[in-house]
Every structure is written in C-alpha cells, then in structure tokens.
Amino acid sequence: MRTPDAAKVLIVDDLPGNLLALNALIRRDGREIFQASSGEEALDLLLEHEFALAILDVQMPGMSGFELAELMRGTGKTRQIPIIFVTAAGKEQNYAFTGYETGAVDFLYKPLDVDAVRSKVNVFVDLYSQRMETRRQVEALEKSRKEQELLMQQLTATQGELQAAVRTRDDFISMATHELRTPLNTLYLESQLRKMQLDRGRADIFDLPYLHAMVARDRRQIEAMMRLIDDMMDASRINSKQLSIRRVPMELSALLARVVENLTNQAAAAGSPITLDAGQPVTALWDEFRIEQVVINLLTNALRYGEGKPVEVSLRLLPQGACISVRDQGRGISAPDQQRIFEQFSRVASDDGTGGLGLGLFITRQLVEAHGGSISVESRQGEGSVFTVTLPLTPPVAPIP
Ligand code: ADP
C-alpha cells in the first residue's frame, strides 16, 4: 500500500519468479515494495528513493549482490541501508562481502523459510520506522527550540522597548510637573502676598496701575500653563493618531504678519526684533490654526534661544510649495542635536532654564507633515539657526499616516 509514511523495501533478483514470490511474502500495509532485476536497475531506484531495507540476491549475472552492496556502502545516500543477502551458498562464502562492517547485514538461505524471511524483514523495517520517528521528534524539537529562541528574542526586544517607554513617560511626568509647578508657584506666592496685604488692611496698594500689572503677571503664568497643557494634549493626539487637519482656504503672508505683530511684546522683552519679508501673497488649503501654531513655535524658539539678536522671517514661493524660514543669530544647535530635536521630549541640555518640555518641535514637525510638508534645520553652534518649513500648495493625494 502506498502511503506517505510507508517503509520502502527494495528486492533485487534476476529471476522474475523469485521477485514475485518474495514480494508476496513480505508485502503488508504500510510497506512499499520496489523490484529490480539487476544491480544497475537497483542502483537507479536506490538513488531515487529512501529505503528501509534492501534484499539482494547474491548470484546474479552481471553485477552480483555483493558487488551491488559494495557500491551501496561507498555512497553516502545508501551507506546505512540495511542489507539482507539471499544466497544458496553455505555460511563460509558469506564473508565475501567486504563492506558489511559499515551497516547492518543479514543472510537468508534458499530455499527460503517463510517465517525467517518475515521476521527478519519485520525487524529491519521496525528499526527503520523507529529511526524515522526519532528523527521526526528530533526535528520537531529543534523546530520548537528555534521558535522559542525567536520568541525570547522578540520578548527581550519588547521588554527593552517597554522599559524605554516607561522611562520616557516617567521623565516626561517629572518634567511636566516641574514645568507646571513653576508658574503655579509664582501664582500661589502672588496670591499669598495679596492676602497678607489685605489681612494687614493695606487695600490701598491695589490701585489701578498695580492691578494692571498684577493682571498681566497672572495672565503670563496662566498662559504658560495653558501652553504646556495644549502641547501635552497635542502630543497625546499625535501618539494616538488622532490629530486631524481641517483645511480651509488661507493666505500665508497675512498669517505671518499677524503672528509677528502678536509677538511684538515678547520680542521686545527678549531684545530680538522680528522682521518679516513676505514677498507675494500665497493662498492654499491649509489648517490655519495649525499653521499658526507652527509659526508661533518656531518664532518663540527663535526668541528664546536667539540671545537677544534680530530674528528674520521670510516667505518664498518655490516649485515644491510655500517656504517659510525663521532665522535667528543665537546659540545655534550642534550637528548631533539637530538629529534629535524633532523627537518627542528631546531637549538640548541647558542650565539656564530657558527650555520647555521638548515637545514644541515634535508637534511642529507632525503638523507640517500632516499637511504633506517638511521641516529642516541648518545651524552652527554660536552662529544661530534657520528652520525651514515647506508646505505643498495642493494637498497630497494619499493621506500622510
Ligand atoms: P522646548 O520646549 O524645549 O523648546 P522644542 O521641541 O521646541 O522644545 O525644542 C527642542 C530643543 O531644540 C530645545 O530644547 C532647544 O535646545 C533646541 N532648539 C529649538 N529651537 C532652537 C533655536 N532656534 N536655537 C537653538 N536651539 C533650539
């Protein structure tokens, strides 16, 4: 019967009658019998199939059973196949086969004894089946060992990523609470001071100029906290892929003029006048609120890190789209830092307390890319920086993931 796992047995004899008889004797389920009437024919079959056993007639014209066995022992593929020689001769001639020590060899004598034939063949075929089963188990074990190894590698990588994510989150929480604490502390101290004055009956100091200054100071602290919270919310929207862009027709040079105007006081406080070179009006479909956020982020950074020197904003229309650049002449950014400032929570170490949460440029880049645009920086330490944003005039065909 031909089944995929059938043990194959080769019988070789020059006499068809012998082949037929032997075949009938050893045939059974789960076994596949191949017949060859010469050594040459047998070699062809031996190269094609994997046999559990070969039963060779010793006396054949042309290649004898022993010669065939010697050829089998000389080839890797057939070396380990057990051989049963069928011979009419006495025992003394059996050792004429010189290759017997390399594999199992047995003898059957003519006239064949039915039980002896069956039991010898059964032993060899059973041995073969056991060997195959062991091989299958070893292969399965090896496969599962490799799978486990791969799983371990993936697990270790995921563990590393998780640890890094937890570290980043912890760093962020401590940074965010610190950044929120600073304006909150100032507000708290101010309110304590006011209460103290009122408790002492000093309501008279709360005149109009004092109240104006007080409101302006409070507003600055509250705005700082609102900015931080907005940035955190934007970063969380970006990370959960929920940042949406609402495109409306808008004109970019007017937006730049408005932002520069709104930052006049901040620029004056930083000692960095902002000049705008807007050229021609550029109208396209963009998210006005988000583009304004991009420009404000770049300009507030230029004021923050610009060391009190002039800041220039320009708008150009290039073939690839509208190009906004913000140039300062401040501290500049080293080449390695330029690689990472657009990443989340990435701040260049500073001991002067000028930095924020390290979210501004991350959000800026995401907003620009959500418009199908790009952002780049050119900078040298001590010589200032130029941030350039390019926005295509037509929305990209495929949405940016
Ligand atoms: P932050 O809130 O810390 O300013 P950003 O993402 O806006 O975060 O900027 C990341 C870092 O890049 C800043 O900490 C700063 O060191 C550096 N950086 C950004 N803009 C400039 C600039 N114009 N000049 C020098 N350094 C800058």
One-character DSSP codes across 117-158: HHHHHHHHHHHHHHHHHHHHHHHHHHHHHHHHHHHHHHHHHH
Residue for token pair 């950044």 = 179
The CA radius of gyration of the chain, in Å to the nearest whole number, is: 44
- Beta 53-57 vs 7-12: how paired, if at all? parallel
Residues 221 and 180: beta-carbon distance below 8 Å: no
Angle between helices 360-370 and 288-305 (to 10 degrees): 150
Of ligand 1's atoms, which has the minimum distance to the CA of residue 361? Answer: 6
Our answer on whether the CB atom of 341 is closer than 6 Å to any ligand 1 atom is yes
Our answer on whether the CB atom of 368 is closer than 6 Å to any ligand 1 atom is no
Our answer on whether the CB atom of 348 is closer than 6 Å to any ligand 1 atom is yes
- pLDDT per residue rounded down to tens, the chain (401 residues): 445 678 999 999 999 999 999 999 999 998 999 999 999 999 999 999 999 999 999 989 999 998 999 999 888 889 989 999 998 866 555 555 655 655 678 889 888 899 999 999 999 999 999 999 999 999 999 999 999 999 999 999 999 999 988 987 888 888 788 888 888 999 999 999 999 999 999 989 899 999 999 999 999 899 889 988 998 888 888 888 888 889 999 999 999 999 999 999 999 999 999 999 998 899 999 999 999 999 999 999 999 999 999 999 999 999 999 999 999 999 999 999 998 899 877 666 654 555 567 889 999 999 999 999 999 999 999 999 999 999 999 876 655 55
CB atoms within 10 A of CB 306: 24
The strand pairing partners of 246, in sequence order, are none
DSSP state of 27: -
DSSP state of 6: P
Shortest-distance Cα residue to atom 2 of ligand 1: 356
**Substitution site in 305, 350, 357 for ligand 1 pocket (most atoms within 8 Å of beta carbon):** 305
**How far, in Å, CA of 133 to CA of 26, rounded?**
22
Our answer on whether the CB atom of 330 is closer than 6 Å to any ligand 1 atom is yes
Phi, psi at 277, each rounded to 5°:
-120, 90
pLDDT of residue 351: 46
Our answer on whether the CB atom of 328 is closer than 6 Å to any ligand 1 atom is yes
Residues written for the chain = 401
Our answer on whether the CB atom of 385 is closer than 6 Å to any ligand 1 atom is yes
Residue for token pair 């890190």 = 305
Of ligand 1's atoms, which has the minimum distance to the CA of residue 346? Answer: 10
Our answer on whether the CB atom of 302 is closer than 6 Å to any ligand 1 atom is yes
Of ligand 1's atoms, which has the minimum distance to the CA of residue 331? Answer: 25
Spacing, Cα 274 to ligand 1 middle (Å): 18
CA dihedral 43, 47, 53, 59 (to 10 degrees): 0
Burial of 44 (0-12, 13-18, 19+ CB in 10 A): exposed
